Amino acid sequence: MPLVIAIIGKSDAGKTFLITRLIPEMKKRGYSVAAIKSCPHGFDLDVEGKDSWCFTRAGAEGVLLQSPSALGLIRARSSIASSLNEIARHYFPDFDLVLAEGFAQDLSTRRIEVLRKGISEQLESPPETLIAIVADFPLSPDKPTFDPDELSGIGDFLERSIGESKEGTPLVELKQDGTPVFLNEFVQSVMKSTIAGLIAPLKKEEKEYSEIQIRIRTQ
């Protein structure tokens, strides 16, 4: 699962600029990076007159566009996970890092707040969600603080956070109707070995897999 971090800040504080500089910094270090942007006022993707527009107008709740180099997905908002963590894990499970712009109302995700002199000079994030601050003026908080141009330092911080998140990732995750169910380490280990043992004879290829997903419908 990826490390998901929301980049929070007021308009013109420099959120987009920071993300566009962090993406190549982390890719240079060998990490796969995805970006998610919150667009509360909507966005233009499904252009009127195009085939995808015709499909959605006809009632399709999901449309996927494929080219030799890319995929584009249009999916009804009501049919996907709502929280940032759920969206990232659903669509980018094989990435190392997801940087999201916005999502200020989502308190389930770790966040970095961007402050800018004359634009926003007071923190608005709850302390328990805030992992770092990026500001272009001196601060003395109890959180790691970086200048916007301190890309190497921010990159080091993100790299450590990625490592820590992977160490803390459970072997087995269980949800009941979307609600996470706590599993202690012993139960996780038993479920992992049992399921892996059952699936091993069914493999058509001699290939190791990093993750197995199973969904059981009770009705």
pTM of the model: 0.70
Tokens of 50: 């195009």
140 neighbors 148 (Cβ within 8 angstroms): no
Residue 7 or 37, more confident? 7
Question: What one-character-per-residue DSSP string does 39-72 give?
Answer: -TT----S-TTSHHHHHHHTT-SEEEEE-SS-EE
135 neighbors 115 (Cβ within 8 angstroms): yes
pLDDT mean over 100-119: 90
- Kindly list the domain boundaries of the chain, sorted by start residue: 3-167, 170-219
What are the backbone dihedrals phi and psi of residue 100, each rounded to the nearest 5 degrees, phi first? Answer: -115, 135
Overall CATH class of domain 3-167: alpha beta
pLDDT mean over 207-219: 76
Query: What is the pLDDT of the chain when averaged over all its residues?
Result: 83
CA-CA distance, 101 to 90, in Å (whole number)?
A: 18
CA-CA distance, 101 to 17, in Å (whole number)?
A: 10
Q: What is the pLDDT of residues 10-39, one digit of tens each?
A: 999 999 999 999 999 999 999 999 998 876
Which amino acid, 8? I
Tokens of 62: 């999901």
DSSP-derived 3-state class of residue 212: coil
